[in-house]
Amino acid sequence: MWRKIVQNTYRRYSRLRVLEALANNREMRFAQFLGTLANMWASIERDLDDWVTLVHHAGGAEKIQTFLPTNLDRELDYLKAALKCGLVPVTTRDEARRIVRELHALKNFRHTLIHGVLIEIDESDRVVVDFWRVRGAARTRIRTPYTKAQLSRHLRRTRTLQLDIKAFVDTEYTA
């Protein structure tokens, strides 16, 4: 059945027309936005894993904990503790603190968009995402609207963060 639908679509429209229709579709543009965001965060989290591993194996990590953290929140807590204990070089502590603060600021935005459900996209490309926050037995439904400008701003901040953390880890821990 699916094959027949696709064949009929290609008969009625040229391949170019189908691609143009998809490119103009608001949901398709939002899906591309989400794919870009997810890809950026994959890179950020990989570099964050490397950073935490390097700090952990540099010595003194037993002051914080004996095992490596495995999720974003625990890694950020670990790096905060490493900064307090002096496990990050003095010359780069301010930059490290700035990166950790920016990670904290952007992680909820990423979490809501990646794990939320798209409810609506209007003509002005305003997006509404529905998300359930679970804390123990309590569940809270959160509907969050984002304007096109907000989404663009967050994407730019995420891209800057992606480049900053990569440069930081590459320059500080590879000598």
The tens digit of pLDDT for each residue in 69-123 reads 889 999 999 999 988 888 888 788 899 999 999 999 999 899 899 888 888 888 8
Which among 22, 165, 57 is positioned nearest to 107, based on CA atoms?
Answer: 165
**Collapsed DSSP state (helix, strand, coil) of residue 46:** helix
- pLDDT tier at 16, thresholds 50, 70, 90: low
Give the start-to-end residue ranges of the domains of the chain: 2-173
Based on its alpha-carbon atoms, the radius of gyration of the chain, rounded to whole angstroms, reads 21
Return the structure tokens found at 85: 């204990």
- 135, β-bridge pairs: 138
pTM: 0.78
